[in-house]
Structure 1
Amino acid sequence: MIVSERFRDAIASVERFYERMIKIIVVVEQRRCHFFSAYAQQTACSQPIKDEFWSLPDEKTAEVPSENMIVVAGDLSGHVRATKDGYSFHGGFGYGSRNADGEHILENAESHDLTIVNTKFRKRDSHLISFYSGKAKTRIDYVLVRRRDQGLVTDAKTMPRQLPRNIVH
């Protein structure tokens, strides 16, 4: 996780939870902002390992006082689908189809009143796709914030991937 130098003196604490999640609390204008960076187990991992991972963000976000801001961001290794399908915390501008790992993301968002803010903005595919493997491409990186704070987010996108160029001499 990278923090802008202008916020360095505003860091109240840093906690690491195993090798898959870190939390930085930043105090800005009398408000505590809890930034979680998470790296979920890959899709091929066993279900007990995935469940163990998801219990951590569930537990740690539940501990954050309701008046504080939460930002959960990272490679959550799931697909939440291109469309809302009735989920009010999904903005309707996702990518691809939903899978079981995407269900974990949706369940976590719903149980903690979080909005998946990078599904709230219409983007071209190059600003949606965060993972390429051969011909496969998908979005696995997400940003979630408390629903009441979603208005503070004015944009969210994936930076277009720079493909290596073949150099011929």
Structure 2
Amino acid sequence: MGLEEEVKARIWEALDEVVRSVPSSKKIVITRDINRHIGFLPGGYDDVHGGFGFDNRNGEGAALLDFARAFGLVVVNSSFPKKEDHLIAFRSSIAKTQIDFLLLRKGDRVLRKNYKVILSEHVLTQHRLLGMDLIIKKSKKRRATEG
């Protein structure tokens, strides 16, 4: 927020390049303060938006959902029903918003078990900590057998 459009474009281009460089066989988790609003209804984004969220979508939120669709990602924050307080990651005296998002590959969405905004932990005075529960099982190595 507050950055010039040219700087924002360079950030998105860099993220685009990084995501393209990660092989599809690898897990990828994108998490950050993206400063966009995706809203509480999928509205044509059923494949990337789970239907839960806060506030109304803005143009930048639609761009985030387009980015997720282009790379086969899902927005974890929109996948679980939560009380309003557990959706809001930024709260000030004049605003409360859900601007921090977690993105995973669609094929990895079975790994996500929950996400939460931790109400008692403040990263900054207005930001709340956002976390996600993932279940990742270590695969067993197979032993070589003879005969």
> C-alpha separation between the residues in 2 aligned to 1:96 and 1:74?
19
Identity %: 35
1:16-57 per-position Cα deviation (integer Å, ceiling 9, x unaligned): xxxxxxxxxxxxxxxxxxxxxxxxxx1x32222211111111
Aligned to 1:100: 59
Aligned to 1:109: 68
How far residue 140 of structure 1 moved from its aligned partner, in angstroms, is: 0.6
Gaps of 5+ in 1: 1-41, 165-169
State the structure with bigger RCO (CA 8 A, min sep 6), 1 or 2. 2
1:92-115 per-position Cα deviation (integer Å, ceiling 9, x unaligned): 101111123212311210111000
> C-alpha separation between the residues in 2 aligned to 1:73 and 1:123?
19
1:1-169 aligned within 5 A: 42=1, 44-87=2-45, 88-160=47-119
The alpha-carbon distance between structure 1 residues 162 and 152, as it changes in their structure 2 partners (threshold 3 A), is closer
TM-score (norm 2): 0.77
Aligned positions, number: 122
TM-score (norm 1): 0.68
How far residue 161 of structure 1 moved from its aligned partner, in angstroms, is: 5.0
Gaps of 5+ in 2: 126-147
* Displacement over 6 Å in runs of 4+: none
